[in-house]
Structure 1
Amino acid sequence: MSGPAWRLSSWWGEVSPWPDLPAFFTGRVDVGEIGEADTNDLIGSLVSAQRGRSFLAWRDYRVAAELHARLVGTESDPHDLLLVDGFADCAARIAISFGIGQGKAEQMVREALALRNRLPRVAERLRDGRISAERVTSIIARTDLVNGHDCAAEVDADIAARLDLHEGAWSAERLRDMVDRIVYRHDPDAVRERRQKALDARGVSTKPLPDGMAKFSATMSAEDARLSDGSVKALAACACEHDQRTTQQRRSDATFALLTGTAFECECGREDCTAQIPEPGTVPPDSKVIIHVVVDESTLNGDADNAGFIAGHGVISDEHARDLAGRPDAVIKPLVPKGTPQNPDGSFTLPAHLPSDPYRPTAALDTFVRVRDGSSVVPGSEVSAFDADLDHVEEFDHNDPSHGGQTLPDNLNAKHRFGHLLKTFGDWVDDQYRDRHGVLTTEFITPEGLVLPGDPENLEILFPGLRRIRFKIPPGDDGQPAEPGNEEAPTRAMTRVAAKHARRRQERERNRRRRERD
């Protein structure tokens, strides 16, 4: 031992400093004032505390990197083939101090070194609270491909620049797509090579769990996983409405039935059960599992090597997209129908809604919005846009379509079912507009009037060709509702629904005026 012994208990015995944290960490809401603070201040306090945790995580990473520099150094360890080398010895100090496993401590040191050596600008954004510690670990993992490559500094700078453009939180899905897109642009060969290595590592494993249970898992390609998941869902849905099992329980039983070739049974126990169970080891004959893959035409034809996208999974390589398109069961549908005339500026114009119903988007507009959004626009949602509901941001006026929100791309977005219901039946308001850079931006306004930024980007940045597609009201449309309204005079000056829509229009107008002032 190089010096006198120190005891951590001397620090643990001190009074906690957290009640006296600066306002940056608490959103100007002291502990003693939580009961008196209004709702918006409480939300702001939570956001400030999250930024404080980001700063503390950045500090922990800095300390861990310094420990590594001090105890291991920059030179290679002559004993690094041993079980207990300098790196492990360094991490052991953290593991025992925190009461965590050696593996977790070593992971913390590796992440600290990645931020210091490969992602210094991203580390600064963690320090400034622009991204959470949880999201930083995702960036570290997804940029491991470029470690040691000449493009590493450019990847770091590009990711940091994207983080700077957004004031709100990043959802896991948008961050994943953003990082993968940047990495692919700088080093597509590494992405293709890593995909092959990942395919080679596919396999099956089981893990014992308490109470006589076990976890069975399989690693496979994204498309095979989604096809497998769809088959399990289809079989699990065969049980009748009186089956008391949860959805997850039925799916577990359906998985076992498919793997073992045994019959999947409905467990309602009723003599009049209406379940139609397929033959053992099979799925319902009328079930169809669809995987949505997006790729531009030039890449599909082999003339370009741009990235593609699998709904519910994320960014994929050009090679992967072409492999999927070459499957015998693949159906290729161009977003712009063949034979559509091209405008002089290189764009294409398509009808926005059905001629018979101005509320319903055409198939082309429906697909366009789902491709553009990629996933539900509600931050934090993992639901693919192809599994979500399309919603009019500014409410469609069924009595006078020319007055309410139009069925046009900038007034439509994809929301998962709960997010859609939250707006429809609650007092939430969302707004969607093009900012001064032409970027489609979404904001959410709480019932208390707090404006929350939506996700920072959509797939327009991955598929710039989407900007060449225009939609317009079909010629000859008279703007009348598909079904005539009641001709009798209303008993109220304005229906409750109309009043709600009017209030929301006023809220959006106030929001727009606020943006103009800022």
Structure 2
Amino acid sequence: MSGNRVDLPGGSFAGVDPAHPYAANMYSLMDELAESQHRQSREDWRRYGVVTAIADRCIAVRSTIDGGIVVSGDTDCVIRVARQLSLTRRQAEILVDEAIGLRESLPEGLDTLRDGITTRWQLQVILSRTALVPYESSITPTLDAEIAATLRSKKGSWTRARLRDEVDRLVFRHDPDLVRERRKEALDNRGMWTHILDDGTAELTGVMAAENVRIAAKAVRVLADSVCKHDGRTVGQRNSDAMFALLTGTVFECLCDREDCTAEVPEPDAVVAAVRSEVVIHVVTDQATLNGAPGIGWVDEHGVISDEHVRDLADRPDATITPVTPARTAPTRFAAEAPSSDVVVIYPGSQPSDPYRPTTACADFVRIRDGYCTEPGCEKSAFSCDLDHVTEYDRQRPTRGGLTSSENLNAKCRFGHLHKTFGDWVDVQYRDEDGRLVTEYITPEGYRIRGDAETLEDLFPNLRRIRFEQPAQAPPTPRVITGDDTPPPNNRTAAKHARRRAERARNQRERERREQADGPAPF
């Protein structure tokens, strides 16, 4: 080290010269970006270790008397950390609590940070979802080991929502009573509070069941969005005014001040009635859980819920229970294709009148299976996403691939869908040797980014036994070519689809070659 500069070994930068990063190619820059995250994880692991060592020494002293003030060991530790790292005392308390909590209850999870598998914010999510499990509980070591094993074995993107769902699933498996008690305690703590802010404003907070929040928020948005496009308020301002109107029964108006205003603002009572008939809250579970067996459910835009919560929702008078498989539709065939020799049940995937369009049952199944947008890092609900053909559907020659099937469809947010359609990235979707659905995003220069590490198939394994496939099409009607016919245009879209088909084929051959030589490719 010279001066304030730390000289790191060249290998730390994945072949990228930090003094001249623009000289590197994009592939090397992407590698360096990934490696920088691993370095940050290892540095956070070291920081946690130093903080716990400081805490051990401070707590061992118990307390000191400084000028008549008794300073506990915990307080001394927080003061040292806060002043050294220029943190507030609250920020330092959080860091110290995280370090001690991870060492005592999640040591194997903490090791994944050392190995660059997780990041600090991901461990914060895990710690928060296991906070109610007592340190001395017999399930703590087992839960820690299972969480760490899952993180190490399932490669890919862990968004906050998917990580939360994974930990909640494991906690419920080991101690369902704890989850039920946590929900009861949470419902018991529901209420409404006000908090005075600056400059004549105040904050109104309400805590209630997740499904009630969805309904209430939808009512606010419906009323707030009824103004015309010339209303000068921000979305937040309109939502605030609409919430007040709904709570007090007062009039909500468009503030454009134009004589030709086109807004059709409904009365608050009409909004509530309309929303109650419009809002759909998707809940996924299995029949055994509905019948009273221990199990879990999953609520769209919320996450994992207990079996008791599932049955409460199913008992609502406005609830509709729909099977995942299409009603009154027999499977077309059976095949022993699933891992562990389970039978796969196959249903029609596309509409008979339009092979490009999935059936309603197929579309619902894909959204249930994905749960969220499949773009790495995106947490948008799959029920608010578009469905995309991973391999593009070829309208001119459907036999070239891209058929409408559950294995070739996934959920993408509108931005991700547009980027896929008009951009130069390629995504692939396939099942690995363990039967897990794998999604990869491939940059224009060939760099591969793994998609989500988990889908709802991990919460509900029976989903792996269901497929929706496009039935075989009849041979095309022969065409008589005359001099007046013109060939289909060789436009940019057709050329892009051809390039993508070739690139996917190359990637598949390369993946199969690596797996035969070395086993599955590391990510």
TM-score by length of structure 2 reads: 0.88
Structure 1 59/472 Cα, relative in aligned 2: closer, same or farther at 3 Å? same
Deviation, 1:129, is 0.8
1:336 aligns with 2:325: yes
Of the three residues 276, 289, 302, the one matched with 1:299 is 289
Deviation, 1:55, is 0.8
Say whether the 8 Å CA contact 2:330–2:347 is kept in structure 1.
Answer: no
Deviation, 1:514, is 2.4
Deviation string, structure 1 residues 46-71 (Cα, Å, up to 9, x no partner):
22111111111111111111122222
SS at match of 2:456: coil
Who is 1:6 aligned against?
Answer: none
What code does the residue aligned with 1:321 have? V
Of the three residues 188, 193, 196, the one matched with 2:176 is 188
1:419 aligns with 2:416: yes
Of the three residues 105, 113, 127, the one matched with 1:126 is 113
What code does the residue aligned with 1:246 have? T
Deviation, 1:479, is 7.1
Say whether the 8 Å CA contact 1:394–1:405 is kept in structure 2.
Answer: yes
In the TM superposition, what are the counterparts of 1:152-171 in structure 2 within 5 Å?
Answer: 152-171=140-159
What count of residue pairs does the alignment treat as equivalent? 495
Q: Using the alignment, how far apart are the partners of 2:10 and 2:158 within structure 1?
A: 23
What code does the residue aligned with 1:386 have? F
1:48 aligns with 2:35: yes
Say whether the 8 Å CA contact 2:64–2:71 is kept in structure 1.
Answer: no
Say whether the 8 Å CA contact 1:239–1:265 is kept in structure 2.
Answer: yes
Deviation string, structure 1 residues 455-501 (Cα, Å, up to 9, x no partner):
111010111121232323347x43769xxxx9932375x32211111
Q: Using the alignment, how far apart are the partners of 2:71 and 2:239 within structure 1?
A: 44
Who is 1:7 aligned against?
Answer: none
Q: Which moved more, 1:224-233 or 1:383-392?
A: 224-233
RMSD: 2.7
1:144 aligns with 2:134: no
Q: Using the alignment, how far apart are the partners of 1:442 and 1:450 within structure 2?
A: 14
Who is 2:434 aligned against?
Answer: 437
SS at match of 2:262: coil
Who is 1:264 aligned against?
Answer: 252
Who is 2:367 aligned against?
Answer: 370
Say whether the 8 Å CA contact 2:393–2:401 is kept in structure 1.
Answer: yes
Q: Using the alignment, how far apart are the partners of 1:368 and 1:361 within structure 2?
A: 10
Deviation, 1:350, is 2.0
Of the three residues 388, 393, 397, the one matched with 2:394 is 397
Q: Using the alignment, how far apart are the partners of 2:228 and 2:186 within structure 1?
A: 39
Deviation string, structure 1 residues 439-465 (Cα, Å, up to 9, x no partner):
000011122321111111101011112
SS at match of 1:460: helix
SS at match of 1:53: helix
What code does the residue aligned with 1:256 have? F
Q: Using the alignment, how far apart are the partners of 1:50 and 1:513 within structure 2?
A: 30
Q: Using the alignment, how far apart are the partners of 1:388 and 1:495 within structure 2?
A: 28
Unaligned ranges ≥5, structure 2: 335-341, 515-523
What code does the residue aligned with 1:298 have? A
In the TM superposition, what are the counterparts of 1:456-495 in structure 2 within 5 Å?
Answer: 456-474=453-471, 477-478=473-474, 488-490=485-487, 492=489, 494-495=490-491
Who is 2:190 aligned against?
Answer: 202
Q: Using the alignment, how far apart are the partners of 2:70 and 2:454 within structure 1?
A: 45
In the TM superposition, what are the counterparts of 1:2-401 in structure 2 within 5 Å?
Answer: 15-18=3-6, 20-23=7-10, 25-73=12-60, 84-147=71-134, 148-209=136-197, 212-280=200-268, 283=271, 285-287=273-275, 288-302=278-292, 304-341=293-330, 348-401=345-398
Q: Which moved more, 1:198-207 or 1:311-320?
A: 198-207
Structure 1 472/268 Cα, relative in aligned 2: closer, same or farther at 3 Å? same
SS at match of 1:57: helix
What code does the residue aligned with 2:122 have? R
Deviation, 1:24, is 5.6
TM-score by length of structure 1 reads: 0.89
Q: Using the alignment, how far apart are the partners of 2:237 and 2:475 within structure 1?
A: 49
Q: Using the alignment, how far apart are the partners of 1:43 and 1:215 within structure 2?
A: 43
What code does the residue aligned with 1:51 have? H
Who is 2:406 aligned against?
Answer: 409
Structure 1 229/68 Cα, relative in aligned 2: closer, same or farther at 3 Å? same
Deviation, 1:251, is 2.0
